[in-house]
């Protein structure tokens, strides 16, 4: 098999696996562990023959694929605990599907970023003379959150794509939502951007989707006291 793509063009072992699956024109649910393991190992061996450095995470995935393949060849032991054990192949498929969602939402964020670059802004004028004595609450839309996140990333000098290497610590919306709830139980209210304390693409995406999900389910409140103030995320019912 001839390869024309270098390994550093992939964002991690799951990205390489997705490439091999799409190259074979098969559905993720229909993958053959035997075939995908062979293709993956052929690719890794080819890179090794070219004396290219291979990140340890790619070798870890190779070991996982070999283990899954070996397990599939062994007779399945029927025990009382079998129904509670997740099938290794099914677990891999779920990881691939979740990673594919990350890639799709990341491209959407990239489109938002490119559109935002086409907008030229000026320093905000003072609106104090138009302010009424009573407090006015401003609704916060998804666009407001996207703009706030984009500005935050720009301030962090992240114009270039974020690092998306897959780490051992993977996040899900449910897990990140629980973390945000725990933060709000202690602090009651936090700045929207303070919740993005780790700057990696998958963490930013999951945190953003978790905030949207919690807001939609009325588990948290999001407010902005005036046009240019920070966006605040609050525990439900906190004034």
Lowest mean per-residue pLDDT among 85-94, 108-117, 183-192:
108-117
Q: Which residue ranges make up each domain of the chain?
A: 9-75+82-120, 126-235
pLDDT at 5: 41
Q: How many residues does the chain have?
A: 239
- Mean per-residue pLDDT over the chain, rounded: 76
pTM for this prediction: 0.39
Could you give the 3-state DSSP secondary structure of residue 146?
helix
CATH of domain 126-235: 1.10.10.580
pLDDT at 190: 92
Cα–Cα distance for residue pair 102/98, rounded to 1 Å = 6
Quickly state the pLDDT bin for 157 (edges 50, 70, 90): low
């Amino acid at each position: 098999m001839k390869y024309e793509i270098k390994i550093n063009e992939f964002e991690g072992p799951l990205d390489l696996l997705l490439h091999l699956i799409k190259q074979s024109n098969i559905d993720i649910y229909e993958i053959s562990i035997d075939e995908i393991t062979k293709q993956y190992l052929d690719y890794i061996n080819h890179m090794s023959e070219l004396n290219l450095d291979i990140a340890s995470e790619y070798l870890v995935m190779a070991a996982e694929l070999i283990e899954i393949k070996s397990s599939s060849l062994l007779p399945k032991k029927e025990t009382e605990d079998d129904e509670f054990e997740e099938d290794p192949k099914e677990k891999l498929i779920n990881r691939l599907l979740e990673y594919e969602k990350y890639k799709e939402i990341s491209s959407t964020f990239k489109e938002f970023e490119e559109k935002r670059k086409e907008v030229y802004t000026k320093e905000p004028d003072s609106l104090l003379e138009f302010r009424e004595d009573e407090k006015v609450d401003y609704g916060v839309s998804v666009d407001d959150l996207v703009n706030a996140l984009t500005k935050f990333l720009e301030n962090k000098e992240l114009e270039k794509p974020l690092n998306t290497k897959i780490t051992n610590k993977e996040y899900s919306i449910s897990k990140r939502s629980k973390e945000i709830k725990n933060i709000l139980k202690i602090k009651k209210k936090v700045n929207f951007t303070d919740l993005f304390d780790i700057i990696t693409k998958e963490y930013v995406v999951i945190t953003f989707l978790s905030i949207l999900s919690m807001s939609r389910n009325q588990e948290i409140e999001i407010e902005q006291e005036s046009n240019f103030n920070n966006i605040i995320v609050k525990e439900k019912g906190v004034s």
